[in-house]
Each structure stands twice: as structure tokens, then as C-alpha cells.
Chain A
């Protein structure tokens, strides 16, 4: 048993919270779901290993050597994962400063804030590493299976990547706190984290579009032009790749550097942790802001009042807006492709259709959650003399209207060279967005808007159904645009998904 308020004691406390948070996130707080969760996890692990097996096999068959092309591929893929780790770490570090859950209690106690800070940052590094490891492990295992156990050293590189991402996230967050102040940092960190996550992916895709004319990152990273630009195999830049490929000396250097940087950053910044947390605390309650100075009521029917309210609330919540529209960032590559291949023919532009349909379904699902589950005053609207059907209809109109505003410019751009594709996309968008909205309505569960990013926790089924429906409608629209009858098969699957979601919807959501 460790002594209270010591480093191991804090570590035990943090580990318990960390484990329970993860477990609750996966089971949505329902213990009876444990066997289901275990089964789903095992199936997921098996499937992802199967995918990794087929992805890695072609490379293994020709032989993997530490030449420039392999090094570019390994370091490129690792950097891609690292940017996602960095994005996650920035969010976690910001939450560590702003979350008031137990911070007020611990900081008001005589326990050392520096110890808490050290343990909390180590916990963030662990969480960041774990998530990427879950996704990367099938590929590492497949490489070890085909090319020998030396590839298991990649797990060490993942630990180094997690530690380094946490160190950089700490420096970035504290820099923002000092320069932008605590009020702006929370929003800024969300934006920076999203830009980091999406930036590299989109950047590589954009480069791939311009160099190879398609979305493939692998094709881009293995292209002659990129390999020609890369430094020679002896360069220090390839140290992580050598480490991942089993060079234990390189691994020791990479690990020592990453853990050393994290330790140094923590040592330097922990002294100010209490100050930063206190500053963030003062901003936990947002300050008052003047609304738009309008001094007269506008005439409104009930439906109009509801639609206006939804749009005003969305417009005035930049964090929520950024989170929602972040999905639209992934439309940038297809938009680039559209622009780049304006006269490239149907085959190139066809790829726009599923991307637009998929993104619209996801966007509509997110907006529907905000509008329905994230209703701030459910009692007020429920006690109004309006039927539940009208309330829902007004919310659906607000959601679908917002989706239309976002996708219409792209549809119009597509309609100029390919009106047939634009028509297929428009139909797919309408169906996909309506499906995403209906699923969120069927699975509505009252929640605070600030929990938007964790909206999938109360119902994994809704998240799964929403994603599946968007994917299936995207496939349907793409196949329909390509003129094949197989589109009907996918449409039937999409309808079956919707029927399944409707059948298993929680009944209590419709009590009133």
C-alpha cells in the first residue's frame, strides 16, 4: 500500500480513473454488455489482423529491406499516426487544465500539485500510446509474422511516439495559455488539434491528387518523386524507421530522446501547473457577452421560432460549429480533386459522389444530436403547446437546411461538368442526411451540448447504425452514378440497417 499523496498513490488513483473511464466509454456504463463487448473486441481484432495480413503480404513477398523507399513508407506512416497522437494529446492536456472534476479538490488539499501533474501527464502519454497501439498492432504483428520478430521493436517506437506527442502537446497548450490567455485557449486548442489531425492526412491526399491523380497515400509515399527527394538511408531522419525495423541501438536512442524530452518538459512546466489550472478555472464559467443588439421581437410561428433558435444557438457556439464542420474538412481533398480534374472525365469525378454522401450523413447525424439530444431546455419545449411531431419536424428542417447550405456549392460545382453525377449525389445526400437525422432522433438521450464529442457513449448502436447507413448510402449513390444495378443491393442493405436501428431503438425515448 502506497503512502497517501505520494507519486505511486497518485498513479494508482489516476490508473483507476483511467481504466474506469475507458471501460465506461466502451460499455456505456452497462456491465451486462461486458460479454458482448469482449466478443465485439475479439471480432474487431481478428478482422483488423486479416486486413493487415493482406496489406502487408505483398510487401513481405518482395522482401523488406531498409532502402529509401521502405524508410519513406515507414516514417511517413509513423508521422501520420504521430499527428493523430498529437491531436489527441493536445485535447487531453487541455482537458487536464480545464476539467474541474477533481482538480479543485486536489489543488485545495495539501498534496503536491507537481506530483499530480506528473502522473496526469504520464497517464495522457499512456492513453495516447494505447489508442494508436490498438490500431497499429495488427500491422506490426503481420510484419513480425512475415518478416521476423525484429518488427516487434515497433512497439517501443509507439511508446516513444506517445511520449513525444504528449511533450509537444504540453508545450503547445502552455504556449497558448500564456499567449492567448485561458479564455481563448480552450477553443484554440480544439481548432489546433483538429487541424493537426486533419492537416497531414489532407496534405498528403492533396499532394497525392496533384502528383498521382488519386487519393492513395501509399501510392504517393512510394512514388519515385517522393523517394527521390528523401535523404539517404544513413540520415538521422530515418532513426525511428530503423528502430521500428529492429535496430535495438536506434530504438534505445529514440526511446531515450522521447522520454527525456517528456521528462524535461514536465519538470519545467510542472512548477506552473497550479497557476495555469487556476487561470483555466477562472474561465470555466464563461464571461458575459452582449448579444446582437436587436430591440424588437420578430413575428414567428412556432416552427419558425424553433428553427431560428436552432440556427442561432449553432451559430453562436464556435466550438460546436468547429467540431461539426470538422467533418467537412475531409471534403477538401475531393474538392481539390474536382478542381484538379475539372475536365478529367466521369471516372475521376465519380469519386466525389460517395464522399459527399458519406460526409452529409455524418454531418446531419452530428447536427441532429446537437438539436435533439443536446436541447438545452427540453422541459420548456416539451411544455409548449406544440405536438411532439411538430417539434421534431422543426428540428429536422433546421438540420437538413444546414446540411444543404454546406453541400450545395459543391453540388453546383459538380453539376457544371457532370449533371448526372450531381443528381445522383444530391439524391444520395438527401437520403443519407435524412437517415443520419432519423437515427439520432430514434436514439435520443438528453445530454449537455458540451459532451458532443462523447455523444457516441450513451449509444454505440446509434453511432454504428449512423456510420453504416452513411457508408451504405454512399456506396449506393456511387454505384447508381456509375450506372450499375448493384446499387439496388446496397440500397436494400441501407434500408435494412435503418429498419434494424428503428427496431432496437430505446422505447423510453418516446414516452412523451
Chain B
């Protein structure tokens, strides 16, 4: 099959994405993320964030809709799309009986990366994430932070163009969280597109270029922080709340207001 990655500036495009379990988890979601963007997907628990990202990563099949990754139809050509994607979940799934070095070797094998190239990248990532002293220890007994860093290194060893992270900072201490954030920012500077869900709104506020707020499986607001402030400010002015000004409104305020309007938070 001839599948070529085009040079489209669009990294990810979701159209009418729908997935139902016992109720709709993702409900006709429309989302476009540009190449090289750091995009944060926010939403209350059960909003459909993880389901959306799992569909993009090829871990779930949607009931309807399309998923395009750098112009590749990910539902028709999942293997070609997966070559460009890396997925990191909030619960790092690594092999306890393998060392970080061996884990990275395995991941490189899965993505069919040349051994010498992969090894050089692995060494760089191990140093970068401060895993050097533990590179040849088995992962059993590693802390949550170390396991997350191993998983992150695994996600980057095959140099994906789209990095999808589901709550990557959950449970990390300040030092580990800083290391992970630094690595992600560095990757975005290098042209990688990062899509991340997080409940730590401060992280989204500081790192993301664009923020999408999802609730009940639908995108209810999207834009840069300033744009979101304007949206809420405008709505406040229309409704007489906040005096119609957005000055001083934090992302937390914006998020709570948006979600409360949708009835997403009690």
C-alpha cells in the first residue's frame, strides 16, 4: 500500500469522532491540532479525554468519525499512522524484569529502528532523564517517577512526530515533573507535536500553546489562554458575571466556568 506522509501543517484532525460504551464517551468530536503545537486537552473526570487519545493511538476503535494523523487516515492505515505516534499513559506500563536499557532496545525493535541509531538515542534519553545510574537495573522497585521517565524515554526513542500523553505528571515529585516538562518543551522546539491531558491546570497554563476543553465527549471551548479568557470574559459580560472583564482570570477559573455552564461539575 502506498501511503506517504504529506507535508500538511495539520498533525491531527478528528472529524465527528464518536465512541459509546454504556453512554457516549466521545460525541461527534471535532478537533484540529497543528504540527509542532503543544496542545493541552482539559476536562472533568469522564469527559472523554482518555477515550479520545486512546482512539488516536490506535488502542480503541471509534463507532464513527475519522482520525487523520499527518494526512494519514489512521483508521484505514493504522500501522502507517502508528509509526508517527507515541503513547504514554498515566500508569506507565513497563516490564519489571527488564532494565531501562533493555526496555528501550525492545521498543526500538517494535518500531524497527536501526540498532545503532536507537542505541545512540537511548543513551541520550537515559542521560537527559537522569536514568543513567539505573540504566542496567531491572525496573522492579522503581518509583512512579522513574517508571514514568522510562516510559517517556520509550515513547521518544523512535522519534515520533506526534506525542500523546495522558496525565503524564500524575504522582510525580517536583523534580521528576520538572524533568518531564523540560523534555516535552524541548521536543516541541524540535518540531514534535505534543497532545497532553492533565488535571494540573497550572501545567497547561504554562506549557500549552493551545488548550481545548472537552466535556461529555464534545469540545466546548478552544484557543490560547488569552483567547479562552476573552471567551469567558465575553460570556461574563453578556451574562453580567465578572463585570465582563477577563483580567486576572486564571485557567482554573476559566475551566470551572466553562464546565459549570455545561453542567459538567456538580
Residue positions of A touching B, CB distance < 8 A: 285-291, 293-302, 304-306, 308-309, 312-313, 316-317, 376-387, 511-512
Contacts and interface: CB of A to CB of B under 8 A. Distances in A.
B122 A297 contact: yes
Q: Nearest 9 A-B pairs (CB), nearest first?
A: A305-B109, A291-B99, A300-B109, A377-B93, A385-B82, A316-B97, A384-B110, A297-B119, A297-B115
A291 B181 CA distance: 29
A304 to B, nearest CB: 7
A292 to B, nearest CB: 8
A378 B93 contact: yes
Contact of A376 (B93, B122, B136): B93
A371 to B, nearest CB: 13
12 contacts: A287-B141, A288-B142, A290-B136, A290-B137, A291-B137, A291-B138, A297-B108, A297-B115, A302-B109, A313-B95, A316-B138, A381-B110
A512 B58 contact: yes
A312 B102 contact: yes
Interface in B83-103: 83, 85-87, 89, 93-99, 101-102
Contact of B93 (A286, A293, A379, A384): A379
B105 interface: yes
Contacts of A308: 106, 109
B67 interface: no
B105 A306 contact: no
Interface in B121-145: 122, 134, 136-138, 140-142
A290 B80 CA distance: 36
Contacts of B118: 297
Given A285-B141, A288-B141, A291-B101, A383 B57 contact: yes
**Interface bracket on B:** 35 or more
A300 B102 contact: no
B94 A376 contact: yes
Contacts of A317: 97
Nearest to A388: B78
A383 B94 contact: no
A296 B136 CA distance: 11
Contact of A384 (B82, B115, B137): B82
Contact of B138 (A289, A298, A380, A511): A289
Contact of A288 (B59, B122, B140, B154): B140
Contacts of A287: 140-141
Contact of B59 (A291, A300, A512): A512
Contacts of B60: 511-512
A293 B136 contact: yes
> Quick one: which of B57, B89, B93 has the most chain A CB within 10 A?
B93
A317 B80 CA distance: 34
B61 interface: yes
A305 B137 contact: no
A291 B116 contact: no
A329 to B, nearest CB: 24
Given A297-B122, A301-B109, A302-B109, 4 more contacts: A302-B112, A308-B109, A376-B93, A384-B110
Contacts of A285: 141
Contact of A313 (B83, B93, B97, B141): B97
B59 A383 contact: yes
Nearest to B141: A288
A191 to B, nearest CB: 19
A286 B140 CA distance: 6
B188 interface: no
Scoring B101, B105, B109, B122 by chain A CB atoms within 10 A of each residue's CB, the highest score goes to: B109
A487 B219 CA distance: 63
A385 B105 contact: no
A381 B106 CA distance: 10
Contacts of B119: 296-297
A302 B110 contact: yes
